[in-house]
Structure 1
Amino acid sequence: MKKIPRLCCLLLCVLLIVSLLASCTPEEQPEPVDEPGGEVPAPFKIGIVTGTVSQGEDEYRAGEQMKERYGDRVIHVTYPDNFMAEQETTIGQIAGLASDPDVKIIAICQGVPGTAAAIDQIRQTRDDIIIVVVSPHEDPAMIDKKADLALDVNNLARGAAIVRLANAMGATKLLHYSFPRHMSMELLATRRQQMEEECERLGMEFIFVTAPDPMGPDGIPGAQKFILEDVPRQVEQHGKDIAVFSTNCGMQEPLITAALEHGAIFPEQCCPSPTHGYPGALGLDVSGIAGDMPKIVAAIEEKIVEKGGAGRFATWPVPINMALLRGGIELAILALEGEAELTNMEDISRILEQETGVSVELQRYSEDGNLFLALVGSVIFGLDN
C-alpha cells in the first residue's frame, strides 16, 4: 500500500516537467501582414515612345505623366526630331523596348515613319506585347492592321468641322498651310479636300499655301520664321476675316502669335489642345496649374480677350493627343488584366472620357480594324461656350 504515494509523486513530477517545458516554448508569432501602400512587384512594364518637347510637347508630357503614375514600370524614350532622316534610330528606339522581357505594352505617339517597320521587327520575337499607336503618320490602313490598338483625331470629320467653326467665328476665307510630305498622308489629304469642299459649300474661299517642311534643311526654326512672316502678308492681301490653319505641330505657336498680332482667325490646331501653342504664344506660364485644363483654358481666355481676340480663337477643351496616349495605355493595362477588351468601342469611349472629362465621339476607321478616330467639341475663347 505504500507504493501508491510513490507513484503519485512520480506522476506529479512528470506533469510538472511537462508544464515547465510548455512554458518555455516561444509563443507562435502571427504571419506578417503587408501594410497598405507597400510596394508590390510590378507584373509588367510599359514602354512609351514620344517626340521631344520641340516636336510635340503634349505627348512628351503625357509620357512624363504616365511615368509619374506608374513609376519604374514605365520606360519613356523619344524618337529624333528629324525623324524623317533618322528612321533607323526611330525603329531602334521602338524595337529596343521589346528586348526587356518584362515589357508587355509599347505605346507610340506620334506614329512617325518607321513605326510599322518597328512593329514588324518586334513581332519576329515577341507576340505577347500590346502595341498602341497614337496619331499614325504612315498608311492608316496598314497601321489599322499592324497595331493592336491605334487612336487618332478624326480627320475624316474634322475637315468640314473646322471650316464650319471658322465660318461661325466670322471667317470668309480659310488659309491652309502644309507641305508635300503631309499632303502625302491619306487622312491629312482627305481632310484638306473636305475643307476645300466645305468652303465651296459655304461660299468661303479656300487658299492653300506650301510652307517649308520642318524636316527640311532649315528645320523647325525655318518653318516657324516663314509662318511669322507670311501671316501678315496674307492678312494684308485677304483681310482680317481669314482663318489660318497648319498641319504641323511646330508651326502652331508662331501661327497663333501672328494671327493674334495681325487680327486673323485661328479655329484650332492640327492636334487640338489648350496647351498646344497657346501658352508659348501668349507668354503664359501654366506650370503652376499643369494638368488642370479648366484653369488653363480660363487663363488662355483671359489673355486672348485682353489682346482683342475674343471670339476669334478656339481649340478643344482637352489636349487630345495627350488624352489618347494616356487612354490607350490605360486600356492596354486593363486588357492585360482581363478587365476590358482592347478594341471594344464602349471600353475605349469609357476610358477616353475618364482621361478627358468630356464627351468623345468615336468612329472606327474600318469595319474590323484596330484604328479608332476621336472627335471632341470646341471652345471659342471669349464667348459663352
Structure 2
Amino acid sequence: MKKVISILLVLMMVFSLAACSQPAEAPAPAPAPAPESSSPETPAPAPEPAAPKGTFEGKVAIVTNTLSQNEEEYRSAQEMVSRYGEDKIVHELWPDNFMTEQEQMISIVTKLGSDPEVKALIVNQAVPGTTAAVDKLLETRDDMFIVYCSPQENPPDVVQRANITLQFDELGMGSTIPEQAQKLGAKTFVHYSFPRHMSIVMLSARRDLMKAKCEEIGIQFVDAVAPDPTGDAGVPGAQLFILEDVPKMVEKYGKDTAFFSTNCSMQTPLIKASVDEGAIYPQPCCPSPYHGFPSALGIESVGYTTDAMAQVISETAKKLDESGVLGRFSTWPVPVAMMNTIAGAEYAIKWINGEVGDELDVAVLEELMTEYANGIKVTTTAYSENGEEFDTFRLIMMDFLTYSPEHIIN
C-alpha cells in the first residue's frame, strides 16, 4: 500500500516540476500562450506590473526555457515585459527538447538578430547549443550586448562570446552547503546524483568539495547514485526512487541526515520525504523559496512579487512547523534564476543608454541584484580556471534563509 501511495504522489508531482539548470530531464509539452500554473490546483497570476522604469532606444531580447521546463526563468522574462512592454522586451523560448533541437535554437537567435532594433540578448538558461546559436548571431551582429545565465558549456568559450555571464557559485556551495547542513544539526550528508551529472565539470568538482568539507567538519559523506531522469524509468522512476530511498537512509543514519540532489526533478520528492522522515534539507540544487517547496508541501503559489514571495516563505515555514521540522530546512531568500534575468537585462539597458561602458562595472551589477533581492546583500566573484581569472564570469553567493518562526506571517 505504501508503494502504491508513493507512485500516486510521483504522478501528481511530475507535472508541476521545472527543469534544473542542467539539461532538461524529459521532453515536456510546449506551454500554452497564456501563463500556466505553478500549482496543479490554483493558477499562478502573471507578475504584477512593476514601478515604471525609464525608457531606452531599441529592444532587449530574452530567451528562456519554457514554462514547463523552468517556471522561474519564464516568469523573469515576463516580469521584464511587464516593466517595459512588449514593444521593448522580446521574449522567446528554447525548444523543450533543446538537446535534439540545435538547429531550431540557431534559428531563434538568428531571427532575433535580424531585427536591428534588438540591442541586447539575455539567455536564461544558456543550455548546450547556446554558443553555436550565438556564433551564428555574431556573424552579422557583433554589436549585440550578450548575457549568459547558468551556462552549461565550457566557461573559457562562454566568456569569449558573452559580455556578462551569471552563475550561482557552484564551487562555493561545495563548502557552504555542508556548513549549513551542520548548522541545521546534520551528522550525515547524503549526495544524490548520477553519472551524466557527474560528467559536468562544475557539478563533479562541487561534489568533491562537499566531500572534503564534510570530512573537515566531521560529517559523514554518503555518495548515493540515483536513476538518471532521462533514463528508461524517466522522471517518475527517479522521483519514486527518492521517495523510497530517503526513508532507508534515515533508518540507516538517523534523522540528523541532510539530503542534497543535483537534479531539479528530484527536489519535490526529496523535500517531501525529508519532511516526512524528520530529516534535514539545507538547499535545493537551484536556490529559491519556490524550488520544490510549494509543490512538496501543498502550498498554492500566489505570484512572484516581493509580498507574494514573503507569503510563500511564510506558508512554507507554517508547513514545516506543523511537521516538527522548522529550523531544519533552508534555501536562499530569493529565486536566483529570476534575479539573473532581471539584473542582466537591467544592466544591458544601462549599457544601451550609455550609463555603463563596455568594461563590466561589478558594483553596478551587484547593486541591481541587491535591488531585486529587496536590499539583501548579493556578492559576486570572478570565475577562475587553471590560474586564469575571468572577470566577466560572475559567481553569485547569498546568505541562507533558514525557515524559522520569524518567517511566519500571522
- TM-score above 0.5, yes or no: yes
CA shift digits 1:220-258 (9 cap, x unpaired): 333323222222222222222111111122221121111
Residue equivalent to 1:87: 102
Task: Report the secondary structure of 1:47's partner residue.
Answer: strand
CA drift of 1:267 comes to 0.3
Aligned counterparts, 1:1-385, within 5 A: 43-72=57-86, 73-287=88-302, 290-292=305-307, 293-341=309-357, 343-357=360-374, 358-366=376-384, 367-382=389-404
**Alpha carbons of structure 1 residues 373 and 305: separation in structure 2 relative to 1, 3 Å:** same
The answer (yes or no) to whether the contact 2:177–2:282 under 8 Å persists in 1 is yes
User: Which structure has the highest helix share of the two?
Assistant: 1
Task: Report the secondary structure of 2:100's partner residue.
Answer: coil
Residue identity opposite 2:61 in structure 1: G
Residue identity opposite 1:143 in structure 2: V
Residue identity opposite 1:261 in structure 2: D
**Alpha carbons of structure 1 residues 238 and 297: separation in structure 2 relative to 1, 3 Å:** same
Please give the alpha-carbon distance, in whole angstroms, between the structure 2 residues aligned to 1:81 and 1:240.
38
Task: Report the secondary structure of 1:243's partner residue.
Answer: strand
The answer (yes or no) to whether the contact 1:323–1:356 under 8 Å persists in 2 is yes
Please give the alpha-carbon distance, in whole angstroms, between the structure 1 residues aligned to 2:190 and 2:373.
29
**Alpha carbons of structure 1 residues 195 and 127: separation in structure 2 relative to 1, 3 Å:** same
Residue equivalent to 2:42: none
Please give the alpha-carbon distance, in whole angstroms, between the structure 1 residues aligned to 2:267 and 2:244.
14
Please give the alpha-carbon distance, in whole angstroms, between the structure 2 residues aligned to 1:244 and 1:144.
33
Please give the alpha-carbon distance, in whole angstroms, between the structure 2 residues aligned to 1:212 and 1:90.
28
The answer (yes or no) to whether the contact 1:84–1:215 under 8 Å persists in 2 is no
Residue identity opposite 1:90 in structure 2: M
Please give the alpha-carbon distance, in whole angstroms, between the structure 2 residues aligned to 1:42 and 1:218.
49
**Alpha carbons of structure 1 residues 290 and 228: separation in structure 2 relative to 1, 3 Å:** farther
The answer (yes or no) to whether the contact 2:120–2:348 under 8 Å persists in 1 is yes
Please give the alpha-carbon distance, in whole angstroms, between the structure 2 residues aligned to 1:233 and 1:52.
35
The answer (yes or no) to whether the contact 1:83–1:90 under 8 Å persists in 2 is yes
CA shift digits 1:253-281 (9 cap, x unpaired): 12111111122211001111111111111
**Alpha carbons of structure 1 residues 176 and 126: separation in structure 2 relative to 1, 3 Å:** same
Task: Report the secondary structure of 1:318's partner residue.
Answer: coil
**Alpha carbons of structure 1 residues 259 and 80: separation in structure 2 relative to 1, 3 Å:** farther
Please give the alpha-carbon distance, in whole angstroms, between the structure 1 residues aligned to 2:181 and 2:106.
39
CA drift of 1:42 comes to 6.5
- Unmatched 5+ stretches in structure 1: 1-37
CA drift of 1:96 comes to 3.1
The answer (yes or no) to whether the contact 1:364–1:373 under 8 Å persists in 2 is yes
Q: Note the aligned Cα RMSD (angstroms).
A: 2.3
- Unmatched 5+ stretches in structure 2: 1-51
Greater RCO, CA 8 A, separation 6+: 2
CA shift digits 1:290-348 (9 cap, x unpaired): 44333322221112111211111100111111111110110011011111246211111
**Alpha carbons of structure 1 residues 52 and 238: separation in structure 2 relative to 1, 3 Å:** farther
Give the number of equivalent residue pairs.
Answer: 348
Please give the alpha-carbon distance, in whole angstroms, between the structure 1 residues aligned to 2:164 and 2:127.
16
Residue identity opposite 1:284 in structure 2: I
The answer (yes or no) to whether the contact 2:299–2:312 under 8 Å persists in 1 is no
- Pick the structure with greater CA Rg: 1
Please give the alpha-carbon distance, in whole angstroms, between the structure 2 residues aligned to 1:194 and 1:203.
14
Residue identity opposite 1:370 in structure 2: T
Please give the alpha-carbon distance, in whole angstroms, between the structure 2 residues aligned to 1:80 and 1:237.
42
